[in-house]
Structures are given as structure tokens and as C-alpha cells.
Amino acid sequence: MSDAPAPRGLSAASRTPGAARLAGMVALTQLIGWGSTYSIPAVLARPMAEALGMPLALAFGASSAFLLAMAGVSPWLGPVFERRGARPLLALGSVVLAAGLAVLALSPNWVVYFLAWVVMGAGGAMALSNGANVLLAERLGPRARRGISAAMLVSGLASTCSFPVMLWLEPMLGWRGTLGVYALANLLVCAPLHWFVPGPRPAAAPPPAPAPVAPPGEDAPDPALLGRRAAAASAAERARFGWLALAMSLAGMISWGLGVALPETLAALGAETRTAVMIAAVVGVGQVAARAVDFALGAPLPALSVAILAALAMPVAFAVLGLGQGAVVASVIFAAIYGAGTGLLSVCRATLPLELFDPAAYARMVTRLALPMNLAFAAAGPLFGGLLAAFGAAGPIGAAFLGALGALAALLRLRALTRRTA
């Protein structure tokens, strides 16, 4: 494929069937990337904790180290994405993920165990979610929302695919061998796909527009008035950014916290361990089903409206789980509704910056959002694990219910601000 620059937002990939191949490649690499990293503790935390002589809570805490590393690295990547394009960073990120998984597979103690997760977090900041979405935004331009939604149709099955794979591999290879397989998948599948991604490199961002000049015979614009308007616009953008960050951080804290604690939460409600793992895997099915409906309908609603509807569904899901008290039918219904809500919110998390801010600044906005969101995500694992240990299943379920209400309130406030500045 040619590496000649193309106008930003009007790349050849956005006008040809290559867009479908690009979305499929992104979906596959995200499926492998997330399934071989953040999903690990949900199934392998107990054997890893026993082998390394550490408490189970500490094994789950590795996901926080992973997200903290992503939070620390992500804000620095925005200018690099804009300067170099997403392709080289995605490929490098997959190599770093493979190296981290290899270190994790060989870890002799909990110190090296956590170091491996930090390395994986640095790789994830480049190769997972934000990097993939930046790639789609720079290659697909106005069709980026459709491309992101299409990619997430498959990548949403990361846990659904990874959980059974780990349950199958671990008895044969042990947890170390299972992680070795995952390292090879990132090195031999994801890195080459990222390096040879189709499509032209994006062009450099256009220079800022010159200041307006008054026509002959008219007074020049008042600099003070222009300054006040610019300040008001900047303040409005900061307000929208703040409420967006709050809403997505709360929603993500729930999905990320339960991502590792859900099987144990369901087990605390009385489900047998293998049944709990399989019910938790239904979440991925719900995510993909909701994204499929959104994609099939051609994204008929603005991303903000979709986010509000998805946030409305989450308290309903937790009420069903709490009232069901461990019944399999209630747990499956919860997993489907909760999966649908989190699936749509994850798409909105990636596409709302395109809708609310200047699309040319997409890379900077999503990497800025990554800092507060990943800090919240990092706190989610220990928080939900501690609540589970202290209060049983009622702890994480109650916290998730309240967090979902908070996310809904923040999105409603964001809609009000958006209408005010429209």
C-alpha cells in the first residue's frame, strides 16, 4: 500500500472497500490484545496467586498496575500520534505487550509479576483502544464512528473468547504456558497486522486559520470582544470535557471493576465457579449484540443520545441481579442487559470526542481523556475486590448501581451544556 499522505478526514480508505478490511484488522488485534491482557486475572488470578505465594486480592490488583501505566503513558502519546500516525505506535505496542506477557509467564515472585503488568500497560497505551480508534479516525475520517462500531462488534467478544480459551489451556499448559501462547499471539499476529495496516498516512494538521480582517471602511473587530468570545468557547469546551470525563470514568469504573470481579461476585451469590465464568462471558455477547444493532441501523442517533440510553439500562441490570439473588435466569438477564449497556457506552466513549469537539484534535482529546478514565479504571479493581471481601456480593452490586446513576446524571448535564452552546 502507498504511504503517500492523504487529506485528513478524506483518506482513500474512507472511500473504498478497504475500510471494511481496516475495521476487521482492528477488531482482530483488539480481540487478541484485550483478551490476552486485562481478562487474565478473571480466570488465572487464583493459580497465579497460589504459585507466587501472594493473596488473591494482590493478584487481582495487577489490573490496576496495568491501567495506571496506561494512564501515565497515554497523555504523552497524543502529539506522537499526530506527528507519526497510529501505525508504528500500534505495532510497537503489540511488541511491548508480547514482552510483558513473556515476563509475566516467567515471573518468580510478586514484584516481577507487577513489573510485567506495568510493561503491558505501556504497550496497551499504544496498541489498545485509543491507538486503534486514532487509526480509524485518521484513516476513515467522517466514517470513523461506523468503523469504530464495526470493529467493536468483534473486539467486544474479548472476554467471551478469552475466558474459555484460558479454561481450556490452563489444565494442559499451566498458567505460565497459557501466557506464553498469548505472548506469541501478540508478537506473531497483532504486531505484523499493525505494521502492514492498509491505507495512506494522514497528512499533517492544517495551519490555524488567520485572524479575521475587517473589510475596507468597516471597524476592525474589537480584540477584547474576540478574546472574551474565545475565553467563553474555551470554558464551554472545558466544561463539556469535564462532564464527559466524569460520565465515562464512572461508567468505565463499573465495567472495568466488574470485568475482573464478576465471576467471583456471581460465585458469592451461589453460582458454581464454572457456571459463574460462563455467565460472565455472556456480557460479551450482550456487548456485541447491542453494537450490532447500532451498526445495522447506521447509527441513527447522536452518540450522546445513545450513551444516555445505555446509561439508563445499567441501573436496571443491577436491580435485576440484586433481586435475583443468584438465580441463573436472573444472572443471565443481568449479563445481557449489562453487556448491552457497557458495549454501547464503550463505543460512545470512543466516538463522543468526534461529536463534541474538533475532529482534527481527536488524538489529543482521547489521550487526554485516557488519564482520568484510566485512573478511575485502576481504582475499580481494588475497590470492587474490597467491597466483595467486606460485604459479599451486595458490595459491588450496590456500588455499581450508584455509579451507574452518577454516570447517567453526568451525561444528562453534558447534553444540557451541548444544547446551550449549539
pLDDT per residue of the chain (422 residues) written in tens, 0 to 9 = 333 333 333 333 334 457 778 888 888 999 999 899 988 888 898 899 999 999 887 888 787 788 889 888 888 888 888 788 888 999 999 999 999 999 999 999 999 999 999 999 999 999 988 888 888 888 887 677 788 887 877 776 787 788 889 989 999 999 999 999 999 999 999 999 998 876 544 444 545 445 455 455 555 555 655 555 555 556 777 888 889 999 999 998 898 788 777 888 888 888 787 788 888 888 878 887 888 888 787 766 788 999 999 999 999 999 998 888 878 899 999 999 999 999 889 888 888 888 888 777 788 888 888 888 888 877 887 788 888 888 888 899 999 999 999 999 999 999 988 886 65
Is the pTM higher than 0.75?
no
- Residue 60 to residue 262: CA distance in whole angstroms: 12
Angle between helices 328-356 and 223-268 (to 10 degrees): 160
CATH topology for 8-204? Growth Hormone; Chain: A; (1.20.1250)
- Residue 167 to residue 175: CA distance in whole angstroms: 10
Give residue 229's pLDDT. 57
Digit-coded pLDDT (tens) for 138-192:
888 767 778 888 787 777 678 778 888 998 999 999 999 999 999 999 999 999 9
- Residue 170 to residue 201: CA distance in whole angstroms: 41
Best CA proximity match to 255, nearest among 339, 368, 145, 354: 339
Are 279 and 335 contacting, i.e. CB atoms less than 8 angstroms apart? Answer: yes
Give residue 203's pLDDT. 45
Domain span(s) for CATH 1.20.1250.20 in the chain: 8-204, 233-422
Are 31 and 155 contacting, i.e. CB atoms less than 8 angstroms apart? Answer: yes
For residue 92, the tally of other CB atoms under 10 A from its CB is 18
The grid coordinates of residue 223 equal: 480584540
Q: CATH code for 233-422?
A: 1.20.1250.20
- Residue 282 to residue 221: CA distance in whole angstroms: 59
